Amino acid sequence: MPVYYHSTRDASVTVTASQAILQGLSKDGGLFVPDHIPALDKSLTELSAFDYQEVAYEVMKLLLSDFTEEELKSCIAGAYDSKFDTEEIVPLHDADGAYFLELFHGRTIAFKDMALSILPYLMTTAAAKNHVQNDIVILTATSGDTGKAALAGFADVPGTKIIVFYPKNGVSAIQEKQMVTQKGDNTFVVGIHGNFDDAQTGVKEIFANEALAARLNASGFQFSSANSINIGRLVPQIVYYVYAYTRLLAQGKIACGEEINIVVPTGNFGNILAAYYAKEMGLPVHKLICASNDNKVLYDFFATGTYDKNREFILTTSPSMDILVSSNLERLIYKIAGEDAVQNAELMKQLNQGGVYHITDTMREGLKDFVGGCADVAETTRTIRHIYENDHYVIDPHTAVAASVHEQYVRDTGDDHVTLIASTASPYKFTRSVMEAIDPARAGEEDFALADHLCELSDVPVPAAIEEIRTAPVLHDTVCEKEEMTDVILRFLQID
Ligand SMILES: *Cc1c(COP(=O)(O)O)cnc(C)c1O
């Protein structure tokens, strides 16, 4: 049965997968969700003999129903190739009583590469299938990692332009340098005075602006999104959970059908939602453990059933998780509301207006697969240090939030399921925070000296992504107020 996509806010909207990818967000402000979640049609044992690309096809074909086999296989082959520095694409590392699923072996050394390597292929294929004549303008708000991964994915892709907004003082020095040195005539990078939620809210408003859309259309452009609200990002993220399970199976670490726990360091709720979809497709998962940093809106939500973003926004050492409005949670809310778009839309309206909503007890029952946890900056630093000391393995601060939460969870519950921890960034992306943990005396050195020192301490070579930006010139220097985002876009596109 083919999968169609509905809006979480309007039951009358139905589109194909390729249309959902092209649009990004539904016109009513809702997110596209599959009308049903199909079960895997190959056994996990069969899948354990497949390589990453083959598993990707088996998972993605089920959710991207209107892509042909040839189209999908060509997208997958284009995406998951030697851009990744290991043939396994996502290796597993055994440390600290869990398996770290290293999702950072792509071009920009963060897990965003997993989806953003393939999104440009899915998007251009979708455009051709739907006879789109306009150039597609990818508009993205980033808390640091999405921006660079999207820029790298879309740079010089014919028929596309990409505009990235990032919080000027809310990303790491390396993250910023990675973005502002991006090559490609179709790439634009803008710092905004504000935090990530300001950037994300601004982008959402621009998407919802119909007059602006008409103006763009008249000039041969249309917007789409590379944010994790795009179903074209969510679907490729399901793949690596299935793949990791089948590797554990192939290596005899688990028996077939044995349930595992998955811990995900969470910001916008995209990565953990992909793990939830994997479970819904039949992956044996016991608990989905949602790990938050000091911005623990989600932790409080799982504990109380109240989502409340009215709180101080805290800058932490895991900036890609410094988020108070987790966009993808809406897909879960819709699901636990019994796929009731009216009820979901009402809750989202409350969130928009008062910054808070409460879910019913029946809805809370739907959350039983999830456990919330949180770790503050000090705890995260301690975890990086002791995993380095015990296992000679260096993890980044985002991954360390998850590892901290995992340790607390095991301590509190005694749950001994085999556990996967989503390792979402290379420690080379956050060298200063990592060095504060493992060699604080050297943490004051400049960024590239830190990278060299990390190499000595960890015996992991400095990744190409860092070598590239050592000497690269700054190519983007636009900074604007959050109210000026639309004007900046019109200027870039030379529309007046
Ligand atoms: C984006 C990101 C996260 C959060 O992922 P979500 O899908 O937004 O929950 C965690 N860690 C890193 C390094 C990231 O780049």
pLDDT, tens digit (0-9, with 9 covering 90-100), for 304-343: 999 999 999 999 999 889 889 999 999 999 999 999 999 9
- Cβ of 268 closer than 6 Å to ligand 1, yes or no, is yes
- Per cent of the chain over pLDDT 90 is 92
Does 138 have pLDDT greater than 80?
yes
Residue 270 CA: nearest ligand 1 atom is 7
pLDDT digits (tens, 9 = 90+) for 230-264: 999 999 999 999 999 999 999 999 999 999 999 99
For residue 219, give the 3-state DSSP assignment.
coil
Collect all residues with Cβ–Cβ distance below 8 Å to 420 and sequence separation of at least 6: 92, 98, 99, 101, 241, 244, 245, 248, 260, 261, 262, 263
Q: What is the pLDDT of residue 27?
A: 86
Residue 50 CB coordination number (10 Å)? 17
Cα–Cα distance for residue pair 10/76, rounded to 1 Å: 32
Atom 14 in ligand 1: residue holding the nearest Cα: 320
204-211 long-range contacts (CB < 8 A, ≥24 apart) are 204/25, 204/29, 206/139, 206/485, 206/486, 206/489, 207/24, 207/25, 207/139, 208/25, 208/27, 208/29, 209/486, 210/27
Q: How high is the mean pLDDT of the chain?
A: 96
Which residue's CA lies nearest to atom 8 of ligand 1? 268
* Per-state percent for the chain, helix, strand, coil, to nearest 5: 45, 15, 35
Atom of ligand 1 nearest to the CA of 265: 10
pLDDT value, residue 196: 86
Note the pLDDT of residue 227: 83
Task: Please give the Cα distance from 427 to 60 (Å, whole number).
Answer: 30
Q: Which atom of ligand 1 is nearest to the CA of 143?
A: 1
- The pLDDT tens digits of the residues spanning 178-226 come to 999 999 999 999 999 999 889 988 998 998 899 999 999 999 999 998 8
**Residues shown for the chain:** 496
- The CA 131 to ligand 1 mean position distance, Å, reads 33
Categorize the per-residue pLDDT at 173 as very low, low, confident or very high, splitting at 50, 70 and 90.
Answer: confident
How many A from CA of 112 to the centre of ligand 1? Answer: 7
SS3 at position 475: coil
User: Which residue among the candidates 42, 73, 83, 112 is catalytic per the annotation?
Assistant: 112
3-state secondary structure of 162: strand
Q: How confident is the model at residue 496 (pLDDT cuts 50, 70, 90)?
A: confident
Query: How far is the CA of 370 from the CAs of 36, 207, 272, 276, 333, in angstroms?
Result: 20, 31, 10, 9, 13
398 lines ligand 1 (CB under 6 A): yes
Nearest to 422 by CA among 296, 282, 267: 267
Pocket probe for ligand 1: among 321, 330, 401, 404, the residue whose CB has the most ligand atoms within 8 Å is 321
The continuous run of DSSP H or E covering 222 comes out as: strand 221-225
pLDDT, residue 174, reads 85
The pLDDT of residue 360 is 97
Instruction: For residue 270, report the distance from its CA to the centre of ligand 1, in Å.
Output: 8
Ligand 1 in reach of 409 Cβ (< 6 A): no
CA 207 to chain centre: 20
pTM comes to 0.94
R_g (Cα) of the chain, nearest Å: 21
Q: Is the CB of 119 under 6 A from ligand 1?
A: no
Q: Does 144 have pLDDT greater than 80?
A: no
Angle formed at CA 289 by CA 284 and CA 247, multiple of 5 degrees: 40
429 lines ligand 1 (CB under 6 A): no
Please say if 129 is a catalytic residue: no
